[in-house]
Amino acid sequence: MPTRVTALVLAVACAFQAGCAGGPPRATHSPETLGKVAVVAAAGEPEISFEGFARGKGEGAVRVGTAVFAVCLTTPGGVCSDAICGAALLVWLGVCTTAGAVAGVVGAARAPSGESIAGSESTLTGAIERAGVQEALRGQLNTALLAAGATSESITPAAADTVIETKLTRVGSRRPNILAFEPGAGGLGIDQPLQLYMQASVRLVRASDNTTLSSIDHAYLGPRLKLADWAANGGAPLLEGMVAGYESLAGHIYDGLFRLYRFPEQERQWSAYGLPVYGLAALSPVTRGNLSADPIIGAMVSWITVPSLQPTLEWEAFPRKVDIDAAPGDMARVKDVRYELVVARERNLAPAEIVYRRSNLSSPVHGVETMLQPDTRYFWTVRATFELDGRSRVTRWGATGFNSREEHTAPSHFSYRFRTTRAER
């Protein structure tokens, strides 16, 4: 029963999420071939949309009651014979109906009022509209390009050979996926924390004839806070979160345009636990738990506890066999492989502040050099940096889950995970 349910859950999740199937690799560009590069902000305002919570007492009752009823139906385990299955299922249906009804009452009590929701949304919308978001994103990307030597302050769009056009297309929150059921998510859509979501569209355009050389969307998945908390102090927490989003998006866009190496049809591999892995897989601690013990909980809930507050993290070495098989000529020319590692504290099932970062690591194993907090959950991810034909290149950041194929910044809640022990042993 659990195995079939897990397969169904994953299939449904895949069907409703973009990126389950692999697509053709996008080429990165050499800054030297683009000439003078300028960054411009496209006109227009982003779509502002906050979703994923109950919009009043009635919807709170429906959401929680329905969710508890659905989960209840998948709970019984084991195998029953044809003679007793019918009767057992009827009894269990009654139990689930009662549980759903009770949960609905709780959901109605906990759901915020429609007036308070409308007020918070109005505050956040006004804060975003006054923030000059398009210029903020353009400025952050231009800063990243200046730091990398890909452009100079004196280049204007009129004098540029190539123009990078940025546009923040959406700000708000995404409707929670299956992680809404995971402990720590904050509820079943009643008044659960909402994850900041920023989507940016980027076009690389040849100035002489306005030909689009490449076009791609990037997404930033930020912290999770409740709607009222995002709207506190006139939306100040949201604006602070967006500043971090601009910086993360800018670095991600620059890497996607100039540094990311995409392996032909080798973007997704399958881990030993039957989960899709993008980038270098985590070897220790394993991520997402033990599927053999419990396919559903192991895939989505379990956080492996590490025995030390300075854990040793290990991942696949680059290049992997699949990389060599996919691009043997390129991999034979790879030089100076190094690794970048990021560890972020978890809050409400999303990365909060980054607490540890290392680059230029020469080995695919690293002992954390500072003490982490006891009994705390962390996300971590890693990527390889290397030289290929005189250019600095990177792999994508390691992550699990079908959605991680999308152009998300890192770390995200698709990153690897672990939990520290209660006290140092």
**Two tokens at 369?**
């050099």
Are 73 and 204 part of one and the same domain?
no
Assess if residue 214 is contained within a domain: yes
Supply the pLDDT for residue 93: 53
3-class secondary structure, 12: helix
Domain region containing 186: 29-53+112-258
Are 62 and 167 part of one and the same domain?
no
Are 71 and 132 part of one and the same domain?
no
Are 359 and 349 part of one and the same domain?
yes
Assess if residue 146 is contained within a domain: yes
Are 36 and 140 part of one and the same domain?
yes
Element (H, E) at 300: helix 295-300
Of 10-19, 151-160, 257-266, give the range with the top mean pLDDT: 151-160
Are 121 and 88 part of one and the same domain?
no
Which residues lie below 8 Å from residue 196, measured CB to CB, with a gap of 6+? 172, 173, 220, 221, 222, 223, 224, 225, 230, 238, 241, 242, 245
- The residue that leads in pLDDT, 155 or 334, is 334
Confidence of residue 97 (pLDDT cuts 50, 70, 90): low
**Two tokens at 75?**
């709970």
Report the chain's mean pLDDT, rounded to a whole number.
Answer: 77
Confidence of residue 69 (pLDDT cuts 50, 70, 90): very low
Are 142 and 234 part of one and the same domain?
yes
Are 143 and 93 part of one and the same domain?
no
Q: Whole-prediction pTM value?
A: 0.76
Rounded CA separation 423/425 (Å)? 6
The number of folded domains in the chain is: 3
Q: Does residue 24 carry a pLDDT above 90?
A: no
Q: Does residue 145 carry a pLDDT above 70?
A: yes
Rounded CA separation 53/55 (Å)? 6
Q: Does residue 167 carry a pLDDT above 70?
A: yes
DSSP of 154-196: T--GGG-SEEEEEEEEEEEEPPP-GGGGSTTS-SSSSS--EEE
19-33, 299-313, 343-357 — which is least confidently predicted? 19-33
Are 311 and 382 part of one and the same domain?
yes
Are 138 and 272 part of one and the same domain?
no
Q: What is the pLDDT of residues 311-323, one digit of tens each?
A: 999 999 999 988 8
CB 195 within 8 A of CB 224: yes
Task: Tell me which residue has tokens 């009129």.
Answer: 158
- The residue that leads in pLDDT, 108 or 162, is 162
